[in-house]
Amino acid sequence: MLRLGLTGGIGSGKTTVAGFFGARGAVVIDADAISRQATAAGGLAIEPIRSDFGADYITADGALDRAKMRQASFSDAKARARLEAIVHPLVGQETARLEAEAVARHARCIVFDVPLLVESQRWRQRVDRIIVVDCPHEVQIERVMARNALSHEDIRRIIDSQAPRLQRLRAADVVIFNAAISMERLASEVSEVALRFGL
């Protein structure tokens, strides 16, 4: 079984790329989606977050108040570390469960879609190749502002909190440059990469 690590900065298009790999038969395990599930109403992270940060960080419908937590994380590195200590183990457990399911089904390929893949040393040992979806910071900001109600400053902070672009590129076995190209061209590039890996 081939295990591919897929990463890229916010707004780079890695979720779209992951979807193209999924369409070719790969099992995609999306760490961001798992994290959102854990912090949604009824998610496993909610009560630990309430206990650690207080009820003010939980919305009326029982989900994580993302805007409030984002501000806390930006202003206090310890707050961010406390949140990660709650959420990351839950993401790890669910990732392992989904991976085991894929192995049991004899999947040909698993794509681990992980925003912080380069920042975490353990991923290098878990995957056979690392694919980085790359684009300039200006493109990232433009895309995120178009889809989210985030300010330019907030997006900049998120970018700054992630691995530097050069660090991701240095870790890459394959780079998919996703700026100023059509969706069709992006799909074609993913197909070319997938064929190299026998997908």
pTM of the model: 0.91
DSSP string, 7-46: E--TTSSHHHHHHHHHHTTPEEEEHHHHHHHHTSTT-TTH
Q: What is the DSSP string of 64-121?
A: B-HHHHHHHHHH-HHHHHHHHHHHHHHHHHHHHHHHHHHHHTT-SEEEEE-TTTTT-T
- Amino acid letter, 137: H
Angle at 55 between CA 157 and CA 45, to 5 degrees: 70
| Other C-beta atoms lying within 10 Å of the C-beta of residue 146 | 8
Provide the pLDDT for residue 160: 87
Angle at the Cα of 162 (from 95 to 109), degrees rounded to 5? 35
Cβ(18)–Cβ(112) below 8 Å: no
**Which two three-digit tokens encode residue 122?**
């353990």
Q: What is the pLDDT of residue 109?
A: 96
Each of the 199 residues of the chain gets a pLDDT tens digit; together they read: 999 999 999 999 999 999 999 999 999 999 999 999 999 999 999 999 999 999 999 999 999 999 899 889 888 889 999 999 999 999 999 999 999 999 999 999 999 999 889 988 788 889 999 999 999 999 999 999 988 878 888 889 888 888 899 999 999 999 999 998 999 999 999 999 999 988 8
Q: What pLDDT digit, counting tens, does each position of 27-74 carry?
A: 999 999 999 999 999 999 999 999 999 999 999 999 999 989 988 988
Q: Tell me the residue type at 52.
A: D
Cβ atoms of 4 and 129 closer than 8 Å: yes
Q: Give just the sign of the alpha carbon dihedral 129, 133, 137, 140.
A: negative
Q: Which pLDDT does position 165 carry in this prediction?
A: 92
Sequence-ordered list of residues with C-beta below 8 angstroms from that of 8, at least 6 positions apart, any chain: 14, 17, 115, 132, 133, 134, 135, 168, 178
